[in-house]
């Protein structure tokens, strides 16, 4: 959620404050309501912070004009205390010598704050974060080193944190630490270190990175890193990884075309990402599939868009001969499963790999009940990957828009690849049949490309309905996941109230709201649910609903009943139809984008939302 970016460098010829500000802007997709920078300048720390957006605050150079040899910045998504200037990060100790930025939640901050106030400390914010610089200040007063003071302070904290700490009188290094909250280190060996809550912050500056584990801290020198365990103080040799993401991911251009919004650009990346996703390394795919096959009980869990990918994925796995899979929202996982039987497997799906509730769910299953964990995530080295027995990395690459599109499409594709491999390993289908399904899955790349060529037709429908206050999205079977995803996207970025239901449930309450002109979106592939869906379309139309249907190119029946159609160019055979989960959701993501743009909203940074939800 919160964005963090810090720089420690030996270079004196670069505008450090401006680079920090630019790095924070590359993290705006994480969602925020205030921001600030701290710069160390010859024994003093200058802090400038304010509620609002970076571009607005920096119009007159408020951040870029800051001077100093090293520094850090932060974008805050409010949890403790309202989004006002005083609650913005960074936060200082009483002497203004220690500055801290923090992502996460300190669960015991209230008691710590009371104790610190009783010992004479003065607080200037409502945040949980502010206890950290004061705890460090107390440790320093006892004569311990800066490193040991930070380590001592951390031991008092209960909860999740990713922190960066700087000291005005320690110009040689900054300190970072993490527990259950993301923090990544970028490095230009021998010159510069970067601290960031996510890789895009430093992607244009270096593609070499180090990943901190939970309960680790690191000293960031000028181009060198020392890593220690917080609990026992033991050092660990840093292992540099090469980031494979393209620098272009942080730009709004693609193939020479400049896009107005990141989301539109990223929608145009979807076809190539589908193509890349089909090619999962065989060893990883087999290990993932065999773990599911060996389990007696299988659960799948995620939040938001990723949960709807779970619904599609579990349907495909079961359809092709895999086990029954129970889908549980990660925020409900512990309550829904007070016990987990032996020989269980949990499939976790997450774009960031840091979703707090998903991390908690798999740790609960793994540590308390010994369940195996298979994860589908987009970030190598993220928390979820470290708690997993088997991992499939999605090919989405960075998503700068808060509303996910590439990640959803690659997650569904990856889980479909797993479903086909399970069928192959179990022998539930002849090999030549599986080959035909796999070929059809690969062709969804071409289908998605063709949908983009027709996006102006989708745009016209979006603009015709963008001002409508409410929508229903209805479907059956596998397509219910697409309906849920379509409704969520419209809510997230266009702020239209939208609800998704199984079409068969629509007459058990929702139909009461239907009146003349009420828009009802049907996801209607020509599969085994099609004939039953026709009756649901007729029910809505008879009561005055305006019918918008997503149908195959060759469709006739539902087309005749519909006021508007979005046509999906799949071929009329069982293989293409079975592999059409992504082709039938993709137009709905495009629809939501154009509705948002027509409503003059920012689809990249919708209000109150964050890309990576790292608090529970």
Catalytic residues: 2, 611
Q: What share of the chain is helix, strand, coil (3-state, %, to 5)?
A: 40, 25, 35
Residues 6+ apart with CB under 8 A from 143: none
CA 550, 553, 556, 562: dihedral to nearest 10 degrees? 30
Taking the CA of residue 308 as centre, how many other CA atoms within 13 Å lie in the half-sphere pointing to its CB?
A: 23
Cα–Cα distance between 231 and 365 in angstroms, integer?
24
CB atoms within 10 A of CB 324: 9
Cα–Cα distance between 609 and 304 in angstroms, integer?
11
Cα–Cα distance between 507 and 441 in angstroms, integer?
34
**If we measure between CA atoms, which residue out of 482, 311, 316 comes closest to residue 405?**
482
Q: Which two tokens stand for residue 227?
A: 């890593």
Would you say the C-alpha torsion 39, 43, 44, 45 has a positive or negative sign? positive
CB atoms within 10 A of CB 47: 17
Q: Which two tokens stand for residue 447?
A: 């289908």
List of long-range contacts for 444-448, beta carbons under 8 Å, 24+ apart: 444/274, 444/413, 444/579, 444/580, 444/582, 444/583, 445/271, 445/272, 445/274, 445/275, 445/278, 446/271, 447/568, 447/569, 447/570, 447/580, 447/583, 448/270, 448/271, 448/274, 448/409, 448/582, 448/583, 448/586
Would you say the C-alpha torsion 273, 279, 281, 285 has a positive or negative sign? positive
Output the CA angle 401-549-527, nearest 5 degrees: 100
Cα–Cα distance between 192 and 134 in angstroms, integer?
28
CB 160 within 8 A of CB 612: no
Cα–Cα distance between 99 and 341 in angstroms, integer?
47
Cα–Cα distance between 170 and 334 in angstroms, integer?
44
Q: Which two tokens stand for residue 407?
A: 């990640």
Q: 252-269: buried (b, 16+ CB within 10 Å) or exposed (e) per residue?
A: bebeeeeeebbbbbbbbb
Cα–Cα distance between 415 and 316 in angstroms, integer?
8
Q: Which two tokens stand for residue 291?
A: 């773990």
Distances in Å between the alpha carbon of 31 and those of 28, 74, 195, 200, 575?
Answer: 6, 11, 18, 14, 40
Q: Which two tokens stand for residue 29?
A: 């997709």
Cα–Cα distance between 95 and 110 in angstroms, integer?
22
CB 373 within 8 A of CB 345: yes
CA 246, 250, 255, 261: dihedral to nearest 10 degrees? 150
Start-to-end C-alpha separation, the chain? 11
DSSP 231-294: TT--EE----EE--S-GGGGSSEETTEEPSSHHHHHHHHHHHHHHHHT---HHHHHHHHHHHHH
């Amino acid at each position: 959620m919160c964005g963090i970016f810090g720089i420690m460098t030996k270079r004196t010829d670069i505008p450090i404050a401006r680079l920090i500000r630019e790095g924070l802007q590359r993290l705006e997709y994480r969602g925020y309501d205030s921001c600030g920078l701290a710069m160390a300048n010859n024994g003093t720390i200058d802090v400038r912070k304010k509620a609002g957006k970076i571009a607005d605050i920096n119009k007159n150079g408020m951040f870029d004009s800051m001077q100093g040899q090293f520094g850090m910045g932060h974008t805050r998504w409010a949890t403790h205390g309202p989004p006002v200037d005083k609650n913005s990060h960074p936060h200082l100790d009483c002497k203004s010598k220690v500055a801290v930025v923090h992502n996460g939640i300190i669960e015991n901050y209230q008691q710590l704050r009371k104790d610190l106030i009783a010992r004479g400390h003065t607080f200037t914010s409502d945040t949980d974060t502010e206890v950290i610089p004061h705890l460090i200040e107390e440790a320093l007063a006892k004569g311990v080193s800066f490193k040991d003071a930070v380590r001592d302070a951390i031991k008092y904290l209960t909860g999740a944190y990713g922190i960066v700490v700087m000291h005005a009188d320690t110009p040689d290094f900054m300190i970072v630490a993490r527990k259950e909250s993301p923090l990544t280190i970028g490095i230009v060996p021998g010159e510069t270190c970067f601290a960031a809550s996510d890789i895009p912050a430093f992607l244009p500056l270096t593609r070499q990175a180090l990943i901190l584990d939970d309960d680790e801290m690191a000293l960031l020198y000028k181009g060198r890193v020392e890593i220690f365990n917080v609990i026992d103080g033991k050092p660990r040799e840093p292992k540099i990884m090469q980031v494979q993401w393209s620098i272009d991911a942080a730009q709004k251009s693609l193939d020479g075309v400049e896009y107005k919004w990141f989301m539109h650009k990223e929608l145009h990346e979807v076809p190539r990402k589908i193509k890349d996703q089909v090619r999962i390394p065989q060893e990883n795919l087999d290990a993932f599939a065999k773990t599911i096959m060996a389990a007696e009980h299988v659960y799948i869990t995620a939040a938001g868009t990723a949960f709807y990918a779970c619904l599609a994925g579990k349907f495909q796995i079961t359809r092709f001969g895999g086990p029954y899979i129970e889908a549980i929202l990660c925020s409900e996982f512990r309550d829904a499963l007070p016990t987990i039987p032996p020989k269980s497997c949990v499939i976790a799906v997450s774009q960031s790999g840091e979703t707090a509730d998903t991390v908690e769910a798999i740790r609960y299953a793994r540590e308390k009940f010994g369940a195996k964990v298979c994860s589908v995530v987009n970030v190598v080295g993220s928390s979820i990957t470290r708690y997993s027995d088997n991992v499939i990395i999605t090919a989405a690459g960075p998503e700068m828009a808060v509303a996910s599109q590439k990640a959803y499409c690659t997650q569904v594709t990856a889980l479909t690849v797993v479903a086909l491999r399970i069928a192959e390993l179990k022998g539930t289908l002849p090999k030549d049949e599986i080959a035909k399904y796999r070929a059809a899955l690969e062709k969804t790349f071409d289908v998605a490309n063709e949908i983009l060529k027709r996006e102006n037709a989708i745009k016209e429908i979006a603009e015709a309905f963008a001002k409508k206050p409410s929508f229903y999205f209805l479907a059956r079977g596998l397509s219910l996941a697409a309906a849920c995803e379509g409704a969520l996207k419209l809510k997230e970025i266009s702020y239209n109230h939208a609800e998704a239901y199984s079409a068969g449930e629509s007459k058990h309450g929702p139909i009461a709201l239907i009146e003349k002109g009420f828009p009802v979106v049907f996801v209607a592939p020509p599969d085994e649910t099609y004939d039953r869906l026709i009756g649901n379309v007729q029910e809505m139309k008879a009561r005055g609903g305006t019918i918008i249907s997503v149908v195959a190119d060759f469709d006739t029946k539902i087309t005749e009943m519909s006021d508007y159609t979005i046509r999906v160019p799949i071929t009329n055979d069982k293989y293409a139809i079975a592999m059409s989960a992504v082709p039938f959701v993709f137009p709905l993501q495009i629809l939501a984008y154009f509705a948002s743009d027509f409503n003059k909203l920012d689809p990249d940074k919708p209000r109150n939302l964050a890309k990576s939800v790292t608090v529970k």
